[in-house]
């Protein structure tokens, strides 16, 4: 569903759905593109490790 929103140009809606999927424990494959280093406990994207 998030992929469909992303392709339709609804980036905010897609990000919301990707965050919901991440919170629900979705596989890394579905969220790596948005947050390649994961999310911090406060929901902000984790910066690169190096």
Spatial distance between the Cα atoms of 14 and 20, rounded to a whole number of angstroms: 10
Spatial distance between the Cα atoms of 49 and 16, rounded to a whole number of angstroms: 24
Nearest to 22 by CA among 31, 33, 13, 14: 31
Residues 4-31: tens digit of each pLDDT: 888 899 988 888 888 787 777 666 655 6
Spatial distance between the Cα atoms of 25 and 21, rounded to a whole number of angstroms: 6
Is pTM, for the whole model, over 0.75? no
What single-letter DSSP state applies at residue 24?
T
Six token digits for residue 47: 């910066």
Could you tell me the residue range of the domain that residue 50 belongs to?
Answer: 1-50
Spatial distance between the Cα atoms of 47 and 50, rounded to a whole number of angstroms: 9
Q: Name the domain count of the chain.
A: 1
Q: Given this model, what pLDDT does residue 46 score?
A: 82
């Amino acid at each position: 569903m998030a992929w469909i929103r992303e392709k339709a140009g609804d980036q905010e809606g897609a990000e919301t759905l990707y965050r919901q999927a991440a919170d629900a424990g979705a596989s890394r494959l579905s969220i790596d593109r948005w947050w390649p280093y994961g999310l911090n406990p406060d929901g902000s994207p984790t910066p690169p490790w190096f």
